[in-house]
Amino acid sequence: MLKYRWSVAGSQPAPVATLAKELGISPLLAQCLLNRGITESGLALRFLQPRLKDLADPFLIPNMPQAIDRLFRARSASESLVIFGDYDVDGVTSTALLVEVMRKLGWTVHFYLPSRMEEGYGLSQDGIENCLKKFPVSLVLAVDCGSTAVSTVDWLRQQGVDVLILDHHQVSTPAPCATALLNPQLGPSATGAFRELCSAGLAFKLAHALVKRGREMGLSEALQIDLREFLDLVALGTIADLVPLNGENRILVSAGLARLTSTQRPGLVALKNVAQVTGAVGVYEVGFQLGPRLNAAGRLENALRALDLLLAATVAEAEPIAHELDAQNRERQKIERSIVDEVLGTLRSRFNPEADFVIVEGRLLWHIGVVGIVASRVLREFYRPTVIVGGEGDEWRGSGRSIEGFDLAAALRSCGDVLIRHGGHALAAGLTIRANQVETLRARLNELARQTLKPELLQPVLRLDAAVRLSDLTVELVKELQRLKPFGQGNASVQLLACGIVSEKPPQRVGKEQQHLKLWVSDGDGEKSHEALWWNCASQSPPAGRFDLAFVPEISEFNGRQSVQLKVLDLRSCMD
């Protein structure tokens, strides 16, 4: 198992007392807010009570006015347009949202999603040519792609086609010469409110701007539309794209999860049924049950079926599509497991933690639709920036995942001379490379990483909010801590430390393969004990005597009775 670096947030008695008194909350919740950089009571209140009314004006996004002007000119001239989307959940939900909203507002809108296998990622030349053959329009709205498509946008302009780009990925230098490039990476610091939005969030902002302008013009369609109906799509795209769940994302996801729980959208009703999601929908349900099924179509074949599901008019129309996506997801899991086993088997025999700062693996016929998931799995085991590539013929495509402190997109830019294409974020990126350049890429990335990554950055950090006594953990306190939800990227679940605790009775192995461990722990002073579960801990056991425990406090309910349960993150001897 990976050895964590434990990092306990420093105690801040005075600010904690002030925040707790001003908000009427517990000192522990106040400490957790301070740990998240929230120091003022007003900001804390908005964090604990996210409201749609606190969303910023969409026209503050750079180039939004130009984009809205061009779109309304198209509407006035009855000029049709095509939305060119992307094949992941963020791209599909963004496309679905804009197709529905713009059609309701009176635009003639077509949509096109590229094929991962045949056209590759983004606003590629092949993809856009195929798109225009099907829809010969003079206006293209590229969604969740296009920020680096300089040559493709130039070619479109030469054909007399205007291009609007709505994207959140890093922008190339020079940037594409589009009619309007809406990307929160651009602009002054005033755009910080939008900095972490993914394309689903940006699509909602564009829709908001369209409705706002339409109402100013007195359009009846704009007066009738309720954008809250589309927040289920925004929550899906935002959570699946792993952007930080703070700022505007927190507001959108909080409202969107409530909408998802009670959604009447036929496609999502059918998807929840096949995924067996019956209760409240949270980040887990989106990330591990709904999102993977929507992603499966784009990974293995074409994402159009996922888009068809989201746009379905009835549950009867949606149900067979949902079952189709469920079957594709099972096939995706099978392919993924095969490649993961192959990669891990190779790495376990040769990995050198002192020399291997970046992992780069590639093989002929590895399925390019799952290489990103494989990279994530490898990173979790070895905690190294990881790039996995595969495909057929001489040109391979791949995906990379990175760790804090190593900007993968920037690293790929510095290796551009050995790559055919590349793009993405600091922590996730995609690339196309010739098979005979994989070894060169591995050497170059490792050389860069050795210059920039300090040894301590190659060990995952376990960030703990506070040290507590187990006897102080009540159901009421843990429920109060859950006001920090939704937890996810950028807003981790509350993680606590209990020092010098003891096991009240021998641990018990549980699970089909005895892969989990159940413990009963206390402060050792005769006060209350709590049940603790250590998931997938193989043969690990707690040390003899007193030990320190890092854990997430949770609420367990059995036979109508609620109790505090601890999800074990790590443990160590008190001597560590």
Q: What's the CATH fold of domain 351-453?
A: Diaminopimelate Epimerase; Chain A, domain 1 (3.10.310)
Strand partners, 509: 517
CA angle in degrees (0–180, nearest 5) for 208-140-243: 50
Query: Cis peptide before 486, with omega less than 30 degrees from 0?
Result: yes
> For residues 136 and 145, what is the distance between their CA atoms, to the nearest angstrom?
20
| Cα separations in angstroms, 518 against 106, 351, 473, 498, 528 | 58, 32, 18, 17, 17
Top-level CATH class of 5-39+461-573? mainly beta
- Contact in structure between 168 and 242 (CB atoms under 8 Å): no
Sequence-distant (≥ 6) Cβ neighbours of residue 306 within 8 angstroms: 89, 92, 294, 295, 296, 297, 298, 325
Residue-wise pLDDT tens for the chain (576 aa)? 457 999 999 999 999 999 999 999 999 999 999 999 999 999 999 999 999 999 999 999 999 999 999 999 999 999 999 999 999 999 999 999 999 999 999 999 999 999 988 888 889 999 999 999 999 999 999 999 999 999 999 999 999 999 999 999 989 889 999 999 999 988 764 457 898 999 999 999 999 999 999 999 999 999 999 999 999 999 999 999 989 999 999 999 999 999 999 999 999 999 999 999 999 999 999 999 999 999 999 988 889 999 999 999 999 999 999 999 999 999 999 999 999 999 999 999 999 999 999 999 999 999 999 999 999 999 999 999 999 999 989 999 999 999 999 999 999 999 999 999 888 888 899 999 999 999 999 999 999 999 999 988 999 999 999 999 999 999 999 999 999 999 998 999 999 999 999 998 888 999 888 889 999 999 988 778 999 999 988 777 777 889 999 999 999 998 889 999 999 999 998 855
Please state the domain extents for the chain.
5-39+461-573, 54-258, 262-337, 351-453
Q: How far is CA 289 from CA 131, 181, 428, in A?
A: 31, 33, 21
Structural tokens at position 34: 């301070």
pTM of the model: 0.92
54-258 and 351-453: identical CATH topology: no
Residues 6+ apart with CB under 8 A from 145: 84, 85, 86, 91, 121, 122, 123, 165, 167, 169
Omega of the bond prior to 174 within 30 degrees of 0, cis? yes
Closest CA to 205 of 158, 248, 161, 162: 248
Encoded tokens for 298: 């784009």
Strand partners, 386: 359, 401
* pLDDT in the model for residue 2: 57
d(C-alpha 183, C-alpha 195), whole Å = 9
pLDDT of residue 576: 53
What is the CATH number assigned to the segment(s) 54-258?
Answer: 3.90.1640.30
Please report how many Cα atoms fall inside a 13 Å half-sphere around the Cα of residue 274, on the Cβ side.
25
Q: Which of 320, 269, 267, 328 has the alpha carbon at shortest distance from 295? A: 328
Task: Provide the β-strand partners of residue 564.
Answer: 555
Strands 5-8 and 139-143, by their bridges, are: unpaired
